Each structure stands twice: as C-alpha cells, then as structure tokens.
C-alpha cells in the first residue's frame, strides 16, 4: 500500500527552525515527484513546495521561497522540508503528498495531481 507519514511538527518561536520528515512506504521517494501542502487553522489548502521526480527541480511558493528547502533521502526513503526563519503565519498543518500523473506524457510535462496524502503534522509558530 502506498503511504506517507509526516513527523517533526511542534511549537517553535518566531525566527526559529524546524525540519519536517515524510516517511514513505509502498513506493520510492527518490523517483517520485513529491509535494508539501499546508493548511492554516480554519483555512483552505496552500501549496508550499514540490520536488520533481528526477530531483533536479524544486519549486516553492513565494511565501516560503528563501526560507524553506525541500529535499529527499534515497536511503531512508524520506522526504524533508527544512523550515527556517519561521513566522507566525507559517502556523499550519503540513501535509506530505505523493504526486501522480495520468500518462507518461503528462509525467514528462509535469502535469502532476496530488495522489496520496499523509495525515499531516502540525507546526505552531508562537512566542
């Protein structure tokens, strides 16, 4: 069964750092496009970051660019999100997502939809 499980959330002060982890099972993280999505309390979904299946390309929302870094560990089959210079408005539940695509051509063109979601990990930024 394809599954992702997030961890690493917690309470951190503004300006602090946190690293989220996403352990995958049933598939290989290092050959899959993977994404982080967040949801602030009572709000909608916000795309945060994506790493391409090759790993050559990473993408970030403007709101986190320069502060967050997405990466993956092949040996651990794990995706990470390093979050630095955290702000109060980064408070949210962070979801790890395995991206999918419906054809090889769509994969090539990066027409990824968000296929498998984890349960999320909560990050609270507060003094």
Is 21 a binding residue for another protein by CB under 8 A? The answer is no
Side-chain-side CA neighbours of residue 55 (13 Å) = 11
Closer residue to another protein (CB): 27 or 59? 59
Cβ atoms of 6 and 94 within 8 Å: the answer is yes
Instruction: Count the Cβ atoms, other than its own, within 10 Å of residue 5.
Output: 15
Q: Which is nearer to another protein, 15 or 110 (CB)?
A: 110
* Interaction of residue 60 with another protein, rule CB under 8 A: yes
For residue 82, give both structure tokens: 């390093």
Would you say 103 or 127 has its CB closer to another protein? 103
Residue 102 or 126: the one with the smaller Cβ distance to another protein is 102
Residue 50 touches another protein, criterion: CB under 8 A:
yes
* Shortest distance (Å) from residue 37 CB to another protein: 8
Given the rule CB under 8 A, which of 21-29, 69-77, 78-86, 110-118 is the region that contacts another protein? Answer: 110-118
Mind spelling out the 3-state secondary structure of 89-125? HHCEEEEEEEEECCCHHHHHCCCCEEEEECCCEEEEE
**Cα–Cα distance measured from residue 114 to residue 108, given in angstroms and rounded to the nearest whole number:** 16
Question: Cβ 59 to another protein, closest distance in Å?
Answer: 4
Q: Could you say which residues in the range 70-109 bind another protein, by CB under 8 A?
A: 95, 100, 102
């Amino acid at each position: 069964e394809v599954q992702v499980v997030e961890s690493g959330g917690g309470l951190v002060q503004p300006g602090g750092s946190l690293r989220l982890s996403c352990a995958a099972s049933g598939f290989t993280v290092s050959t899959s496009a993977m994404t982080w999505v967040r949801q602030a309390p009572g709000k909608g979904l916000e795309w945060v970051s994506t790493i391409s299946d090759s790993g050559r390309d990473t993408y970030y929302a403007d709101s986190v660019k320069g502060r967050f870094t997405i990466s993956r560990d092949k040996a651990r089959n794990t995706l990470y999100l390093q979050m630095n210079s955290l702000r109060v408005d980064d408070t949210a539940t962070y979801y790890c997502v395995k991206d999918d695509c419906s054809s090889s051509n769509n994969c090539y063109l990066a027409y990824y939809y968000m296929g498998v979601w984890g349960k999320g990990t909560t990050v609270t930024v507060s003094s």
